[in-house]
Every structure is written in C-alpha cells, then in structure tokens.
Amino acid sequence: MALLAMAVAAGAGAAHLRSAPASASLEWGAGIGADTMRGLRNGVRNGRSMREGGRRVLRLVWCRSGGGEPDYEGGSDGVPSSVFIFGMGYTSLALANSLRKRGWEVAGTCRSEEKRSALESRGFQAHRFNPDNDAECLREEAIQDLHRSTHIVSSVPPVGDFDCDPVLSSHREALVQAASGGLQWVGYLSSTSVYGDWQGGWVEEEIEPRPVDRKAVARREAEKSWLQFGDEAGVCVHVFRLGGIYGPGRSALDTVRVSEKKLSTRQQLRGHKRFTSRVHVADICQVVVKAMESGQRTGRVYNVVDDDPSPRAEVMAYARALLYDEHENPPVTSDNELSEGSASAVANASLVAEKRVSNRRVKEELQVELLHPSFRSGLEAIASGSNAPFD
C-alpha cells in the first residue's frame, strides 16, 4: 500500500491528516515540493490539518502499489475515517467488526489484559481502561490513538462510585484536545431505561425522560454531559437509547438452553412486564454506522429498538418452539415464579417500568430499514446459524 499525495482545490473546512498504516509510504505527487512534503509528513504524524490561504491543498488517498483506484476513501475529504471506542464489549465489538468491514480504522479500550490480548488477536488496537480500578486511565499511546480519531463511540456506563460519565470524568481534557483537531463526531450508547415508567404508553425522543432507578438516573446525567460536551467543544454528539440487546450467543435461545440456571431478580421481574422493547445487535450497528456516515453536525437523540415491544413470556415461548419440536419435552424456565425476596419488589415501579419505545426517528432521519423488525426474525436468524454481525 502507498499513500499518494494529490493536489486538489477544495473549499472551506479542514482536511485532517492522519497517521498512515505502518506499511504505507509517502510518494511524490506532481508539483509537490520538498517543503510541502515535509509539512505533509508532519501533518500525518501529528494528526494536524494542512491549509493554505483558507483552502485545502492536499488530499490523502490510499492506493494499491502501482496506482489504480483507491481501496477506500472514507469520509467526504477522501481521508479514511478512524474510530476510537471506549468499552469494547458485546455491542461495541459488533460495531467494530461492522466498521472495519467498511474500511474504518478501529481502536478502543477494554477492562483487562486478557481482553486486550483477545482484541488484538482479532486485529484491533486495544488499550486498558478500567474506571472501576482506581480510575485506571489511558496511557500515552492510547491518548495518541484518541487524538488521531475522527469519531468516538462510548459504551461505558456510569459504574461503581461514578454518578457521572467515567469517560468524561477521566479524560475530558484529552477529548477537548481531540475536538480541536480532527474529531468530528461522538456517539454515546445509552439505554431506554432513562424514560422511566409510562404505564405502557409510547415514548419518543421529544419527551422529557423521568428515570427512577439509580442506574437510569446516572445514565440520564451521562447523556446530558455528552450533549453539553458537544455544544461546548463544537462536536456533533449523538445519543443512542438502546432497547434490550440480543444477538448471537446472547438471546432467549441461550436462556432456554441453560434453563436450569436460576434467573436473577431483575430477569424474574422482567418476566412480569407487559412490554419490553428489544433490538438485535445487528440493527444497533447499522443505526450507529448510518449516523456516523450521515454527515450530520447537530446533536441528536435516537431510540434504537425494533417494531415489536413484547412480553418476555412470549419471546421465551417462541424461542422454545424454535429449539424443540412438538414431540420433545423442552425445559421450562421459571419466568413467572418470583422468589420470596423478589415478590415484594414487584410493587417497585422503577423495576417494572412500562413503556413502548418508538423508533420513528431513526427510520425517518437515518432512513433505517430494520434487519429484524421483530424478535421473531431475529431469533429465527440466530437459530438458523447466523452469527452476524460477529462473522
């Protein structure tokens, strides 16, 4: 691979030059002198933009050795985009896979050395960040990756003693520095739990959330902090309120297979709800990717759920039907059998908050067509062996 510098006449705005892959080299472009090339090298190395008289003069394009069409041109400036993901867990790893397939460069954080090694074996640049462990912060190499990124995604919830967002609390200065460079967009993965209890009514993004549960209250405060950061730093921030996440290896099918496992209090309580809004992890990925590539420059909140908020018992029954035929005797989980200690908790509205979450906005503004509009198609895909988006 070679990095070819091409002179172009561009309008206002900065073309942020980012670090080239280790295998890339700088080649001379027609009419580009030694001083310009030295500046280009420095700009690439330091993640700075190169401008002349208010006009962009250079464009970076990754091409195959010997010329030909670019392998990938990333954003509108032709510079391959990069994302830094705080908290590469189940959903974020799926997102990382989806973005890498689209040509994005991906770096991110995890909580343990074991997880870091596993992520690097998959080809991701991974760094340790564990706010539970005495606020273990990013090291210099990770900060450099953060500053080189055009996009940031955070899936780190308020945890432990934090009643605020741990990423902003630990690394606000580094994020501000990134915003003054090439950072264009930030996405925060939140939860529909921030809405609280609406007694089964429909909720959209325009309504004011009224969380009751302590974790939901902290989530809502984290949302506000990220949106405020975007306003102050001049960076587009999108908040994604995710429904109950399921996908390969983490679905009702898996619960049925290990039905002898005792359900937690929270799982038992969910079994008594009339409505639960869910979303397949593949649909989370497509919504977030569309938002990242949409070119929007204003802060926005999006509900990310399917079309079919349904009771847990209905979902579990469908999962059993997919796994066992009528001649078999499937195991039965105790979805509706609360332990003595849990029974009294049903009266607590914060634990059984009822609402149906609308996804109208992602369909209208991001033109999203859900891959799995119902838990039925999602479970059917998993049962048939689909591992998307982890394949």
198-245 per-position pLDDT tens digit: 999 999 999 999 998 889 999 999 999 999 999 999 999 999 999 999
For residue 386, the SS3 value is coil
Residue among 256, 285, 269, 275 nearest 379 (CA): 256
Give the C-alpha separation, 308 to 351, whole Å.
21
168-209 per-position pLDDT tens digit: 999 999 999 999 999 999 999 999 999 999 999 999 999 999
For residue 185, the SS3 value is strand
Residues 6+ apart with CB under 8 A from 133: 111
**Number of helical (H) and strand (E) elements in the chain, helices listed first:** 13, 17
**Structural tokens at position 215:** 């974790």
Give the C-alpha separation, 60 to 3, whole Å.
7
21-44 per-position pLDDT tens digit: 333 333 323 333 333 333 333 343
* Residue 391 binned pLDDT confidence (cut-offs 50, 70, 90): confident
In the chain, the N- to C-terminal Cα span, in Å, equals 26
pLDDT for the residue 131: 81
CATH number corresponding to 184-201+227-391? 3.40.50.720
Whether 54 shows a pLDDT value over 60: the answer reads no
Has domain 81-182 been given CATH number 2.60.450.10? Answer: no
pLDDT for the residue 24: 33
Residue among 277, 377, 267, 275 nearest 322 (CA): 377
Burial 167-181 (b: 16+ CB within 10 A, else e): bbebbeebbeebbeb
Q: Which of 342-346, 359-363, 376-380 has the lowest mean pLDDT?
A: 342-346
Residues 6+ apart with CB under 8 A from 80: 18, 62, 72, 73, 74, 103, 104, 105
pTM metric for this prediction: 0.76
Whether 343 shows a pLDDT value over 60: the answer reads no
Domain limits, CATH 3.40.50.720, in the chain:
81-182, 184-201+227-391
Residue among 310, 49, 340 nearest 184 (CA): 49
pLDDT for the residue 264: 58
Residue among 3, 16, 13, 9 nearest 43 (CA): 16
Whether 375 shows a pLDDT value over 70: the answer reads yes
Q: Is the dihedral of CA 317, 319, 320, 324 positive or negative?
A: positive
Residue among 243, 199, 239 nearest 221 (CA): 239
85-143 per-position pLDDT tens digit: 999 999 999 999 999 999 999 999 999 999 999 999 999 999 999 887 665 789 999 99
pLDDT for the residue 265: 59
